[in-house]
Amino acid sequence: MQTTPLLIGSFILLFVCQKLIGFFRAVKSIGNHPGHRLLFSPASVLGSFLPKTKYVSLGQNHTFVSKHTVFEAAGCDIHSSVSIIPNIRTMIVLADPAAIKEVTSSRARFPKPVHFYKALSFYGHNIVASEGEEWKKYRKISAPAFSDRNNKLVWDESVKIMEGLFTDVWGDKDAITVDHCVDITLPIALFVIGVAGFGRNVSWKEDVVIPPGHQMTFKDALHIVTTDIFVKLIVPDWAMRLTPRLRRAKLAFDELHRYMAEMIRLRQHSEKVDRHDLFSSLLDANAGDLGGPALTEDELISNIYIFLVAGHETTAHTLCFTFGLLALYQEEQEKLYQHIKSTIPSDRLPTYEEMPLLTHSMAVFYETLRLFPPVAAIPKFAAEDTTLSATDSKGVKITVPVPKGTDITIAVPGLHYNPRYWEDPHAFKPERFLKDWPRDAFVPFSAGARACIGRKFFETEGIAILTMLVSRYKITVKEEPQFAGETFEERKARVLANRAGLTVTPLRVPLVFTRRT
């Protein structure tokens, strides 16, 4: 009887010894470079959800929460992480512009770990969750849609959608109060990507109506999919009916697939006209009209899904943070308003050709992206034994060994809040983008060949929406009795609170939009 416990104890001891040996080898392989030594990997499910505990886990949303402080503690803009569970994992984390540029420009040495993007591959292969020749195929198909001609369409439709909001929804109200600003920015972003990306017009009035054959609106389905994407990733299919939330998430994924299939069928059977939107490029590839191998039905739907998510959630959340910041910093909002007034006559709408003149709008938008980058961590991995260099806090150049298979993480908040490149990095100062600024220390769209293909689309839409709204309405934080005695810093922390999601997601931004006279 004593043999069984002895055997179990021996196996446990052997397992622990193997883990410890592997752990110390991993630490040695990176020259014991400063950083975290953890029980649970930050990239694991448990490591992402457990509270921050020294030597155990880094906690939720750790890359955004820690920003640059972890690099300051390491004394260098490159730090390391070596963890034990679920397996020995070595990670090099970057907030050094030169090292980041080297990684993003050396795709052969530092490719994208596509397995990390499983959450974005529910419907099939796509441009985000691919690498090598497959990615080149998707990129070639998509690139023509992101042209100056289509950007003008993005601008015109954004202006039209904002006009619809002002006249059809807000009407003659002098003040509009919203409990959470995303209730406005989500439909705006959806309408823009719908019409400019996919030729799908949805008016403000139609958006609340569930069409025949569906159980939820297109907007609600897309929003739930982006919100509950990690639920879908973690929970097996058989369990997706166990709770009301899981059933709602399953319905949203099914409904979104149904909507996308309908969009495809409708366009395929409509009159052939000359179009320059993204949807047309994808459909032409699906039909084999562009030469090369045709997209499969799953590839077509999955790429539609990716561009809907990328063009919807990132814009909506960035605009929400932008409006929250302007509500908190009234002097910055007034500077923006005065610049818009001096640039665009009040008797007409801004045009796409005037976008380069709206420098202050762009500065506000960029400063928001610096403070709240949509994606906090950009993953890569080392395809070969190599090294990366940085300068430590004493000005000494150091070389960090990077063994083959090491995870590389570009810590975007760590870079964006790095005091070496951004003076007073925690402050909201749009004027920093009105003069020379460190371009290599700003990567909200990633960098290199894998940089965001829709960057100009995103910027055009954001500048048009921001300019239209601030020119007509003053933004303030909603006054609530329970927060009457809070300080400015407490209010700022509350209004700008966020969580980790598919993108950095605002929790609740309660605002009031008051018509300017």
Cβ within 8 Å of residue 486, ≥6 positions away: 494
Rounded to the nearest angstrom, the gap between the alpha carbon of residue 94 and the centroid of all alpha carbons in its chain is 18
Distance between CA atoms of 433 and 429, rounded to whole angstroms? 8
Name the nearest CA neighbour of 318 among 447, 428, 499, 458: 458
Contact criterion met (CB below 8 Å) for 222 and 312: yes
| Paired strand residues for 85 | 40
Cβ within 8 Å of residue 369, ≥6 positions away: 318, 442, 444
Distance between CA atoms of 190 and 315, rounded to whole angstroms? 9
Give, for 255, the enclosing helix (H) or strand (E): helix 244-268
Distance between CA atoms of 259 and 262, rounded to whole angstroms? 5
Write out the two tokens for 446. Answer: 């990633």
Helix (H, G, I), strand (E, B) or coil at 453: coil
Name the nearest CA neighbour of 44 among 65, 70, 62: 62
| DSSP per residue, 400-439 | EEE-TT-EEEEEHHHHHT-TTTSSSTTS--GGGGGS---G
Backbone angles phi, psi at 199, to 5 degrees: 65, 30
Cβ within 8 Å of residue 396, ≥6 positions away: none
Distance between CA atoms of 178 and 327, rounded to whole angstroms? 13
Tell me which amino acid residue 143 is: A
Q: At what angle do helices 244-268 and 218-227 cross, to 10 degrees?
A: 130
Q: Is 76 known to sit in a ligand binding site?
A: no
Rounded to the nearest angstrom, the gap between the alpha carbon of residue 346 and the centroid of all alpha carbons in its chain is 34
Name the nearest CA neighbour of 462 among 198, 134, 196: 196
Tell me which amino acid residue 371 is: L
Contact criterion met (CB below 8 Å) for 327 and 473: no
Tell me which amino acid residue 137 is: K
Rounded to the nearest angstrom, the gap between the alpha carbon of residue 292 and the centroid of all alpha carbons in its chain is 31
Distance between CA atoms of 474 and 326, rounded to whole angstroms? 9
Round to the nearest angstrom and report the end-to-end CA distance of the chain: 87
Residues present in the chain in total: 517
- DSSP type of residue 32: T
Our CA angle for 236, 406, 136, nearest 5°, is: 70
Q: Which residues are annotated as a binding site for heme?
A: 452
Q: Which residues are annotated as a binding site?
A: 452
